[in-house]
Structure 1
């Protein structure tokens, strides 16, 4: 009897502890994050999604601000339209101009803001905010974006703490975009090789077509001449046959 009571109490205590852990872990895991759609390779361009969950039971998210890194500025940022949201892309002057595709870039995107214009992120919901960005840096393994999430009750949650390698996740971590190693395709080498191969193939095909056409033309001429010779022979044979009958 005594042993059974102890087991029952231990089970209840364990269940309460597990439930408490789940309650505590829930809000901590539901933070603003960023993920690439496909792959975000160094030196290339990528489409990324900022995922914004609503952590409140009695308020809705009506504004999201994402600040771009200044140590690795991005010159090209395009936002996908989202129904019910107004998008504002702010730029700032660069202390050191960038060279991009043969052009000198003197300013880069510093912040993108989505403001509710009929839309919202209600309790128990999340929203994804897509961006096309580039050119991604070649000398970094990740990009850190600091974000601010505003609710309709005026509360502002600041997702600005940069995660440290080997340390526990901060309470309000900033979204981090991991960059993958660049491939030949990202720098155009493989594409150039493919184009060259394609051009060679086209050239060879053109040669084959020309040779085939020349061969066909030669054959046609031979057959034509042979036909003429046969025709002349037939006419001569007819004339001779007629003379023999007359004689």
Structure 2
């Protein structure tokens, strides 16, 4: 076996192993998600709904995102995506929420993107602006439906609606947004220390020793001068 042929076979084998590893890793991570997935309660933010295509022979042709009605968000707006049409649905809330200047009885409860396509091996980001984010819950869940259409025109729907139950991650978890206040920045110490904490003490001791040595030297020189003069 010549070296070029052996190297070629080795690279081909490594490529196959890498492809297999990637293929195994994709199902565990290729979910519909909200990014970034953390934000401060009471604030506003821009988030993207990241939608990957997990199929090999069908395109994603519609994405439906459902906003939580138990913790409604007063202001919701969408950023246009070339090739896609966004339809915003407003619904009457089961319980009005207080907002600045009054009460909110209707809110955006769903956004549907359609008209475009996400091909196999690709993903799309749909940007939305949300606020003010609620202060009375540590996490928001946004259930999502992803519609696939194959080359024959047949459609299927993947329902990203599963909520955690304390065990393993569900197969189709609902996109979520964690709400938590940012940690307050800690003040930096003015005095720098070495790793063992002795740098400052050793520096001070060295300075005192140097001053004492200088004093002894001056006294010695004076005595030497007097002895010479005598």
TM-score range, shorter chain: 0.5 to 0.7
Q: Retained in 2: the 8 A contact 1:87–1:115?
A: yes
Counterparts of residues 189-208 of structure 1 (less than 5 Å): none
Consecutive unaligned residues of structure 1, counting only runs of 5 or more, are 1-15, 185-247
Shift of 1:152: 1.5
Which consecutive residues of structure 2, in runs of 5 or more, have no partner in the other structure? 1-15, 185-230
Matching residue of 2:31: 31
Query: How many residues align structurally?
Result: 165
- Gap change, CA 1:164 and 1:35, over 3 Å in 2: farther
Give the 3-state SS of the residue equivalent to 1:25 in structure 2: helix
| Cα distance per residue 1:105-136 (max 9 Å; x no partner) | 111111100002xx311111000010001121
Q: 2:114 is matched with which residue?
A: 115
Which consecutive aligned stretches of 4+ in structure 1 deviate over 6 angstroms post-superposition? Answer: 16-21
More strand by share: 2
- 1:80 is matched with which residue? 79
- Classify 1:141/1:101 alpha carbon distance in 2 versus 1 (closer, same or farther; 3 Å): same
Aligned mates of 1:148, 1:176 — CA distance in 2: 14
Shift in CA distance, 88/19, structure 1 to aligned 2, threshold 3 Å: closer
- Measure, in 1, the Cα distance between the counterparts of 2:72 and 2:183: 21
Q: Name the CA distance, whole Å, in 1 between partners of 2:123 and 2:83.
A: 14
Is the contact made by 1:61 and 1:121 (CA closer than 8 Å) also made in structure 2? yes
* CA 107–131 in structure 1, closer or farther in 2 if over 3 Å, else same: same
Partner of 2:141: 144
Whose radius of gyration is greater, 1 or 2?
A: 1
1:83 is displaced (CA, Å) by 0.5
Contact 1:94 1:108 in 2 (8 A): yes
- Take 1:110 and 1:137, find their aligned partners in 2: how far apart are those partners? 15
Larger proportion of helix: 1
Question: Per-residue CA shift, 1:123-175, capped at 9, x if unaligned?
Answer: 1100001000112110111100110000123011100101244x211111110
TM-score by length of 1: 0.61
Cα deviation for residue 22 of structure 1 reads 5.3
Aligned residues: CA RMSD: 2.4
Tell me what 2:128 maps to: 131
Q: Normalising by structure 2, what TM-score?
A: 0.66
Deviation readout 1:68-99 (Å, 9 max, x if unpaired)? 11110112110001110000110111122111
Aligned counterpart, 1:62 = 61
1:44-55 → structure 2 map (5 Å cutoff): 44-55=43-54
SS in structure 1 opposite 2:58?
coil
- How far apart are the structure 2 equivalents of 1:164 and 1:17? 35
- SS of the residue corresponding to residue 34 of structure 2 reads strand
